[in-house]
Structure 1
Amino acid sequence: MSLTASGAPAASTLPQGVDDDTLAVIARQAIVNEKREVFGYELFDRSTARDAHTAASDAALLFNALSYAGAEALVGQKTVFVNCTQESLAGGHLELIHPDKVVLEVPTLEDGATQAEIEARLTVFHGLRERGFRLAFNQHLLRRAYASWLPMASFIKLDLHTFALKDAGALVKFARTHTNAQLVAEKVETAEQFEHMRALGVQYFQGYWFAQPDLVHAQTIRPSQATILQLINLVRKQGSTAEIEDLLKKDPTLSFNLLRFINSSGFGLSCEVTSFRHAVMILGLKKLFRWAALLMTTSRTGGSPPAVGQTAVVRGRLMELLAAELLPPEEADNAFVVGVFSLLDVMLGVPLDKALESVALPQPVIDALLHGTGVFAPFLELTKACESGDDAAFARSANALHLTNHQVNWAHLQALAWADELETEN
């Protein structure tokens, strides 16, 4: 993943050699306080050249920000501002994020909307606020027609392109008198504008005078839609945690994305989740269904899992079976993770240490993958020896673990058969 500054608010080209079908490109622009310290970031989807803003694109932006771009690198612990359509405010994707982390920027309705249509939106706003979300509106909220919306605002953004600076005082006074919202001056482009709005008591500022939007490029790995559909069907049938865990273990791309998503700052957990079973239990079936449905909409269509994914699955299963001979059950689970994530660098096209930065894993797993040390390292070495056809390396690795050729070969055959079952099921 690379973080680069851009002199323009949108990405016009993609990094050379990168397939735009697997690239999440998200722009962020800082929102600062009166001391010019970063308070939060507004996010924009720059994955495509299209400027269409829809409920689906809103969901994809939040999902990609949490799942693919690495929320820590993108926003850290800062507040995230995300533009929404009226339709996306009722979207199930909002159930997947921690409300303390996100401010939803709400548009006013199109000109010509009736008073009844304006009032009808209050139910949705109340529901979002009860769940802990903060809502931001533009200065159109200060129009008479939207008087009923005023108590809903946590932030009001004042666009300096839409009014003369001499009129700012009246807008600020009205907003202060009739709302409890904090004010954000946006599209600030000069020191004069900043000083004028700060003198009026505006708390936050956004614009090119402070920072152009940065672009975050994140190479993604996405499961086949057939596998995601299998997960969705399993959840709809109220499948057991063990059944769901088994499916996750068969697809490294699915499990990797789930662990990365659930451990993102936007999900709001106070502890790291390092096992598939724990992830399923934390999410629950309803949120797991939402996550899988969003993953389906943001994944490429068609295609079977690539050969490297099959190899990763075989590695994971083989390591699990070998570890079960010598280690406690919970350690055998971690051995599976070592094997299945040992090819993440190939799948992501980045060094393994960079790939592992975006997913929470136990330290012994990291030690085996990055340093070839610890309890799982000999199992990974033996697993790789099974693939290489190097008889000397195979014998040396098996002897180090005091495993016979028969034990290793039988486990390898079982792992291959287990991986082949996935192909048959799909």
Structure 2
Amino acid sequence: MSSHSDTAAQLPADSAQPSPEATEAQNQVVIARQAILDEQRTVFGYELFDRSTAADAHTAASDAALLFNALSYAGSEALVGKKTVFINCTHDSLAGGHLELIHPEKVVLEVPTLGAQATAEQIEQYIPTLQAVRTRGFRLAFSQDVLRRAYSSWVPLASFIKLDMQAFKPELAEPLVKFAQAHSQATLVAEKVETAEQYQRMASLGVKLFQGYWFAQPSLVKAQTIRPSQATIIQLINLVRQQASTGEIEELLKKDPTLSFNLLRFINSSGFGLSCEVTSFRHAVMILGLKKLFRWAALLMTTSRASGSPPAVGQTAVVRGRLMELLAAELLPPEECDNAFVVGVFSLLDAMLGVPLERALETVALPQPVLDALLHNKGVFAPFLELTKACESGDDEAFARTAEALHLSNRQVNWAHLQALAWAESLTADE
């Protein structure tokens, strides 16, 4: 039975796919960053702004989405490297579970004051929330409004106070800086600095950090996202709520390449703060633990669209992954089979993301043998990938050549391919 040449008919026609340009635009997160510099004009950190949503749609959910996108998608090293990140927060988002996923040393939370109408009681009621965030290791930044008498209880919690150069007359700069220095331990940041004169005035008063158009316009960092279907994320959330085993959760991650890609990319981002790279799904699940995994899945749910990438591409990727895993099981040790699965699943990332494969793979930590197979068609997994593609395309010559090179019979390969197709079918039937 030569099933390998029949399966090409089951694969999607190219005409059904959106264009790469349309996919790329739909999957893009746009984050603006503006440098915050020290007196030597060295970058101290970056303030991030989400440019993917309307400017006025600043909510607890959009705060969470910005942090999530910044740490997961914008290839954190390209976005912020080892620098400190300043992110604007609503008061609601300070109590959000998403902060549990972030390494506090990396992030300064910019907290607004409550406005001129706020009563002393309203101001006081936020103290426990602010203190709790500080206790967890986050630093807080406030505007100069925190220097008003009504906010005196907030001032000791400030790591940074930002002085808006557009909000006060030049002659008030000195008394304002001296007051802030006398009443707080905070580092002062002169923001919206637009002239050399403003910079020199504030530097001469002992201000240490500067931000504004005189130094740098905000630059845009575009990140490709690849979102799992909401049905899959719900499955993950349900597994976590049922306190499923690591093995069961790993199975779900293996079903959905977009889910596993997101998890590996997130857990290896600089914001997560790990000292070693995580390259296996099981390791990722064990490091996160169920509570954080639930937070991560819930965040992914809120930032994902109703539909993920075209399902046919994901389906093909899953078949590839399973087929490679089954073929590798005939010849390689068990620990290598997981990597074979990853090679198969991630071999279609370019189609899913609408960007070249090399660019897609820059954003996720993978073992070198996996990268060798995907990018250079070399190493232990390369012949398995070639055989898998031959099964898919119905290329008899390539099929015969690669099967022979691996000492696999037609019957072994065809049987594995049928099993992989059946496995992929059963996954979609579960939803």
TM interval, shorter chain, is over 0.9
* Alpha carbons 2:46, 2:86 under 8 Å: kept: yes
1:421 shift after superposition: 1.0
Please point out which of 184, 187, 192 is paired with 2:189: 184
* Alignment of 1:322 onto 2:336: no
1:390 shift after superposition: 1.2
Please point out which of 110, 126, 133 is paired with 2:131: 126
* Alignment of 1:290 onto 2:295: yes
Q: 1:305 to 1:224 in 2, by over 3 A?
A: farther
In the other structure, the counterpart of 2:267 is 262
Write out the 4+ residue segments of structure 1 that deviate beyond 3 Å after TM superposition: 15-21, 302-305
Unaligned runs of 5+ in 1: 1-14
* Alpha carbons 2:309, 2:352 under 8 Å: kept: no
CA distance in 2, matches of 1:303, 1:398: 34
* Alpha carbons 1:223, 1:305 under 8 Å: kept: no
* Alpha carbons 1:45, 1:61 under 8 Å: kept: yes
1:221 shift after superposition: 1.1
1:354 shift after superposition: 0.7
In the superposition, the TM-score normalised over structure 1's length comes to: 0.95
1:48 shift after superposition: 2.6
CA distance in 2, matches of 1:141, 1:247: 48
* Alignment of 1:24 onto 2:29: yes
* Alignment of 1:407 onto 2:412: yes
In the other structure, the counterpart of 1:8 is none
1:303 shift after superposition: 6.6
Q: 1:304 to 1:156 in 2, by over 3 A?
A: closer
Alignment of 1:327-406 (within 5 A): 327-406=332-411
CA distance in 1, matches of 2:379, 2:321: 17
In the other structure, the counterpart of 2:13 is none
Q: 1:357 to 1:117 in 2, by over 3 A?
A: same
Q: 1:50 to 1:144 in 2, by over 3 A?
A: closer
Q: Alpha-carbon deviations, 1:18-63, whole Å to 9, x = none?
A: 6654210000000000111100000000003442211111001001
In the other structure, the counterpart of 1:112 is 117
1:16 shift after superposition: 6.9
CA distance in 2, matches of 1:134, 1:63: 18
Letter in 2 for 1:384: K
CA distance in 2, matches of 1:135, 1:94: 13
1:305 shift after superposition: 5.6
Q: 1:354 to 1:183 in 2, by over 3 A?
A: same
* Alignment of 1:56 onto 2:72: no
Letter in 2 for 1:211: A
Higher relative contact order (CA 8 A, sep 6+): 2
Q: How many residues align?
A: 412
1:352 shift after superposition: 0.8
CA distance in 2, matches of 1:175, 1:49: 34
In the superposition, the TM-score normalised over structure 2's length comes to: 0.94
CA distance in 1, matches of 2:90, 2:199: 29
1:130 shift after superposition: 1.1
1:292 shift after superposition: 0.6
Q: Alpha-carbon deviations, 1:269-308, whole Å to 9, x = none?
A: 1010101111101111111111111111111114786111
* Alpha carbons 1:188, 1:208 under 8 Å: kept: yes
CA distance in 2, matches of 1:368, 1:344: 14
* Alignment of 1:203 onto 2:205: no
Unaligned runs of 5+ in 2: 1-19
1:171 shift after superposition: 1.0
In the other structure, the counterpart of 1:7 is none
Please point out which of 167, 170, 186 is paired with 1:165: 170
Q: 1:210 to 1:51 in 2, by over 3 A?
A: same
Determine what percentage of the aligned residue pairs are the same residue: 78
1:129 shift after superposition: 1.1
* Alpha carbons 1:224, 1:305 under 8 Å: kept: no
Q: Alpha-carbon deviations, 1:177-233, whole Å to 9, x = none?
A: 111100000000000000000000000000000000000112221111011111111
RMSD, aligned α-carbons = 1.3
SS at match of 1:148: coil
* Alpha carbons 1:27, 1:214 under 8 Å: kept: yes
* Alpha carbons 2:107, 2:139 under 8 Å: kept: yes
Q: 1:361 to 1:303 in 2, by over 3 A?
A: closer
Q: Alpha-carbon deviations, 1:51-95, whole Å to 9, x = none?
A: 221111100100111111111111111000000001111011111
